[in-house]
């Protein structure tokens, strides 16, 4: 039994194009995992990727981004300053917009990989960061979830204090996550040799940043990041030009986007077991809000099987007899309690043995 406190649990995980059903049964101090593989096609008998819905949502978010970054400042604000209030409801679509990009990250936007990548890159540019950076950062999060090297709120009491860990933690959850995603492409405009020396001198080889940087320095990855980075910087610069003397409105829009992305990113992982890479919270939301968020609140189901499209997560939740770990908004506010010592968090127990059938 892991640190999740569940005696018997079913986990689905993506593995070489198949879905593994993992049953964990605890008997005294031993754990026995039974793994049964089944094709993804059989899992989604009721249907696969909701291509038409995803395409419609992509068109909607493209239109909304064009509206708030270009149409509003060029045509509407000069005629009536009151149009600025339309930016407020659009800010609350930030996380649903990210949820759609998240589908592309997991190749679940469209079954055609080139179409999936194309839309992912375009939406990433509108989001403010190259898709290659967003994609690998997120996939590495799945691989390292809740390990000491990756946890957002962790600090080691034997090395530092909560007071010393607090500034970095609050910066990360209040704006830092999005800020790093937005400004990191600027680093890749430097000569490749300079970037490599920066990595070797300033980043620990085993750190998450070093692992990501090593991948991004590949020729194909670097070309893509630079190309998408140029487009991202260009449209942001053009948007500031379009806003003119109303530029504080655009700045407020970007600050709101950064806060919402950063603050709600770790809500599913705060105060969860250390080193349980499959663990994440399912958080309760009303039906309309859950659908708006593309069922992202069922994050625990997503983490045990990232291969399930958003539209099928509720069915998987019911099939697993899943339960909620609290209210979405309450869990969000709990993050404000600050960083937590590794020594005060539950730790996942090692698995005893694995048996495949």
CA angle 213, 140, 122 (to 5 degrees): 75
Q: How many CB atoms lie within 10 A of CB 222?
A: 16
Rounded to the nearest 10°, the torsion over CA 129, 135, 136, 138 is 100
Number of domains in the chain: 1
Question: Does residue 13 sit within a domain?
Answer: no
Instruction: Report the b/e string of 198-213 with b at 16+ CB within 10 A.
Output: ebeeebeeeebeebbb
With 0-12 CB in 10 A as exposed, 13-18 as middle and 19+ as buried, what is 267? buried
Pairwise CA distance, residues 38 & 144, whole Å: 25
Contact 22, 31 (CB under 8 A): no
Domain assignment present for residue 152? The answer is: yes
Q: How far apart are CA 74 and CA 85, in angstroms?
A: 15
Please check whether residue 351 lies inside any domain of the structure: no
The answer to whether position 270 is within a domain reads no
Structural domain of 222: 49-265
Determine, yes or no, domain membership for 310: no
Mean pLDDT by groups of 10 residues along the chain of 357 residues: 36 37 33 32 59 99 99 98 98 98 98 98 98 96 93 95 98 97 94 93 87 93 98 97 98 98 98 96 99 98 96 96 96 98 87 34
Closest CA to 12 of 29, 35, 28: 35
DSSP output for 252-267:
HHHHHHHHHHHHHHST
Judge whether 186 lies within some domain.
Answer: yes
Q: Are 123 and 247 in contact (CB under 8 A)?
A: no
Give the pTM: 0.86
Residue 242 domain-assigned (yes or no)? yes
Distance CA 88, CA 57 (A): 20
8 A C-beta contact, residue 57 and residue 102 = no
Is residue 277, in this structure, part of any structural domain at all?
no
């Amino acid at each position: 039994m892991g640190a999740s406190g569940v005696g018997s649990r079913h986990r689905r995980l993506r593995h070489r194009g198949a879905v593994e059903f993992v049953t964990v049964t605890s008997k005294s101090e031993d754990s026995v995992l039974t793994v049964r593989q089944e094709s993804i096609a059989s899992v989604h008998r009721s249907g696969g990727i909701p291509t038409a819905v995803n395409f419609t949502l992509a068109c909607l978010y493209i239109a909304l981004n064009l509206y708030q970054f270009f149409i509003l400042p060029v045509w509407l604000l000069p005629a009536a300053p009151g149009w600025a209030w339309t930016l407020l409801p659009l800010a609350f679509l930030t996380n649903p917009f990210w949820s759609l990009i998240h589908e592309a990250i997991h190749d679940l936007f469209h079954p055609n990989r080139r179409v999936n990548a194309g839309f992912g890159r375009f939406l990433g540019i509108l989001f403010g960061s190259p898709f290659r950076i967003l994609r690998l950062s997120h996939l590495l999060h799945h691989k390292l979830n809740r390990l000491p090297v990756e946890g957002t709120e962790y600090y080691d009491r034997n090395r530092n204090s909560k007071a010393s860990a607090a500034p970095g933690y609050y910066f990360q959850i209040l704006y830092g996550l999005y800020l790093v995603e937005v400004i990191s492409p600027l680093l890749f405009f430097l000569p490749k040799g300079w970037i490599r020396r920066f990595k070797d001198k300033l980043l620990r080889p085993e750190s998450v940043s070093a692992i990501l940087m090593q991948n991004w320095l590949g020729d194909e990855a670097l070309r893509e990041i630079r190309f998408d980075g140029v487009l991202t910087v260009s449209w942001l610069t053009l948007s500031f030009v379009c806003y003119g003397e109303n530029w504080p409105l655009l700045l407020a829009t970007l600050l709101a986007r950064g806060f919402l992305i950063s603050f709600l990113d770790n809500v599913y992982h705060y105060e969860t077991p250390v080193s349980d890479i499959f663990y994440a919270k399912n958080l309760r939301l009303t039906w309309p809000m859950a659908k708006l968020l593309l069922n992202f609140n069922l994050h625990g189901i997503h983490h045990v099987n990232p291969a399930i499209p958003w539209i099928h997560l509720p069915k998987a939740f019911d099939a697993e007899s899943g339960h909620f770990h609290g209210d979405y908004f309450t869990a969000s506010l709990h993050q404000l309690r600050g960083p937590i010592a590794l020594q005060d968090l539950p730790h996942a127990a090692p698995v005893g043995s694995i048996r495949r059938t």
